[in-house]
Structure 1
Amino acid sequence: MKPLSFAAPLLASLCLFGVAAHADQLDDIKQRGTLVCGTLGIAEPFSFANPQTRQTQGYDVDFCQAIASSLGVKLELKLVAVPARIPELLQGRVDVLAANLGWTAERAEQIAFSDGYYVSLTKLASRRANGFAGSSALSGKRVAAAKGSTSEAAARRAIPNVEVITYQDPPSIFLALQQGKVDAAAVSELVLVRWRQEVEASAPIDILEPALLRESWGIGMRRNEAALIRHVNGVLAEMEKSGEAARIFDKWLGTGTPYKLKRDFRIEPIKG
């Protein structure tokens, strides 16, 4: 009987050790020497390819780099599609997500969100030739949105009898809008600003009011990684305090950019 009484606590200890080791992702990242950050790669100015270097850059990338630098590790970017963001995280293929990830109650049941590091407006755009006066005029119409995005959910919720046509990425949505396959597109206001500038002289579009959604974006992490969550929130808090977060905003979105936006939010816990 003694071997059995010895084996049971030993097995229990090994199980506990295994759980602890699995849960301490922060140490795993440090030992590996690399932070793997999932990002979109096709969402200017948040994550997109530099036309000269072809390297992925942008607002989200700078926040990924700040987290990696705080840990003294290299940053590895992994490009993910919108519907694959959370599965890639849950399956351990990325350590964190900085991928236009808006907080929703449903997502918060699956993953952990950092404090909000950006606040996004989702709006609708239509071809000017269609003459839609506002988003209320799109009842029963076809609206394009990214598959699995909060824009898709917002369009379904806000527009009566809408037919939502989903696409994998913003360029595909824009093409569908220009080709008349859909009546409107629901995406980030920033994306719409750039689209409007690009086609003003040829096939102009209008950005419709009111906004469908105002959402806070967070860095996505697995829920059981308490140490990593605390560390990321600590980094974000320090970036807000030092002014680094505001400098990143101005670099990609401020008055010297095509968006000419003024930062009207602070990094703070997301209020669900």
Structure 2
Amino acid sequence: MLKKIATSMAFAITALLAAMSLAHADALDDIKKAGKIRIAIDLGVPPYGMTDDKLQPTGLDVEAARLLAKDWGLEFEHVPTTGASRIPALQTGKADLVISSLSYTAERAKVIDFSLGYAVLRTVIAAPKSVALKSMADLDGKTVATVRGTTHDTQLTREGPKGMKLVRYEDDATEAQAFLSGQVDIFSTAEMIVPQVDKKNPARQVEMKFVLDNFKLAVGVKKDEKRLLAEVNAWVSANLKNGRLNELNKKYFGDNLPDLILKQ
């Protein structure tokens, strides 16, 4: 009798778990049902994300996102974000994916999943020509601007000298303005932003001082959405193979993608 009861309970539990599984459609099913994909992109990080002369979203990340949506037969919906809000946008369900100069780090991988790399980003320390900086140690006693939630924020927090003071801004545009107005003299940023800052105020004579790190940029996916992640990986692989992601890199940076991306 006890054996029959135990068997019946086991069947009931199995049925309940199966029903719960069916009731919770995964993210990929939800996206297909909606017929659109919501992708978070920061438009303050040119040439990855920016606006054109008609104030429309453009840039490498925007074109990659539009390409993904088109390949999947979906409507593309841009979700505005900043460096600090990219991951929360996934976690809170505001976005289905993040394609926003988001580089892989072990810390981030604890809370979201990452696709294969589709592009690269090099982070640097920049300052006026008159400021002598050659390494992280030279930041001791200095005030350094950074963008909250970025890899360079994390790295400077972890590896910077004790006497360094970090000033955090919410996005690259605000950080750049702080430098241009003379509020700060030293800042961390992506390498490609330095020439753009210099053009806005040549008198500041900004230049790259030293490299912080090289990062593989990847598509951010909500944790444990395995089917969606597999689809994104398949899309990245296909578009690396057919050359379309490489063409985007050449369009915005003038070079082919490095082996770090091509030989994953």
Q: What is the TM-score normalised by the length of structure 2?
A: 0.89
Contact 1:127 1:203 in 2 (8 A): yes
Counterpart Cα distance in 1 of 2:133 and 2:92: 44
- 1:172 shift after superposition: 1.1
Q: Does 2:30 align with 1:28?
A: yes
How has the CA–CA distance of structure 1 residues 34 and 45 changed in structure 2, closer, same or farther, with 3 Å as cutoff?
same
Counterpart Cα distance in 2 of 1:223 and 1:118: 21
Counterpart Cα distance in 1 of 2:46 and 2:208: 18
Give the match for residue 125 of structure 2.
124
Contact 2:119 2:257 in 1 (8 A): no
**SS of residue matched to 1:112:** strand
Counterpart Cα distance in 1 of 2:58 and 2:152: 23
Counterpart Cα distance in 2 of 1:77 and 1:267: 25
Counterpart Cα distance in 1 of 2:25 and 2:91: 13
Contact 2:49 2:62 in 1 (8 A): yes
The 5-angstrom pairing of residues 186-201 of structure 1 reads 186-200=188-202
- Please tell me the residue identity of whatever aligns with 1:250: K
- Please tell me the residue identity of whatever aligns with 1:69: K
Deviations 1:108-137 (A, max 9, x none): 0111100011121100111234x2242443
Q: What is the TM-score normalised by the length of structure 1?
A: 0.86
- Please tell me the residue identity of whatever aligns with 2:47: P
Give the gaps of 5 or more residues in structure 1: 255-260
Give the gaps of 5 or more residues in structure 2: 1-6
Q: 1:267 aligns with which of 249, 261, 264?
A: 261
Deviations 1:136-178 (A, max 9, x none): 4322211111111111122233431221110001111112222
Deviations 1:228-251 (A, max 9, x none): 111111111111111111111111
- Please tell me the residue identity of whatever aligns with 2:122: L
Deviations 1:40-84 (A, max 9, x none): 1111111111122x2111111122122212221110010112111
Give the match for residue 243 of structure 2.
243
Counterpart Cα distance in 2 of 1:56 and 1:10: 52
Contact 1:115 1:269 in 2 (8 A): no
Give aligned-pair identity as a percent.
27
Deviations 1:208-257 (A, max 9, x none): 02x01111111000122111111111111111111111111111121xxx
Q: Does 2:217 align with 1:217?
A: yes
How has the CA–CA distance of structure 1 residues 102 and 157 changed in structure 2, closer, same or farther, with 3 Å as cutoff?
same
Give the match for residue 165 of structure 2.
163
How has the CA–CA distance of structure 1 residues 122 and 61 changed in structure 2, closer, same or farther, with 3 Å as cutoff?
same
Counterpart Cα distance in 2 of 1:50 and 1:154: 32
- Please tell me the residue identity of whatever aligns with 1:37: I
- Please tell me the residue identity of whatever aligns with 2:238: E
Q: Once structures 1 and 2 are overlaid, which stretch shifts more, 19-28 or 140-149?
A: 19-28
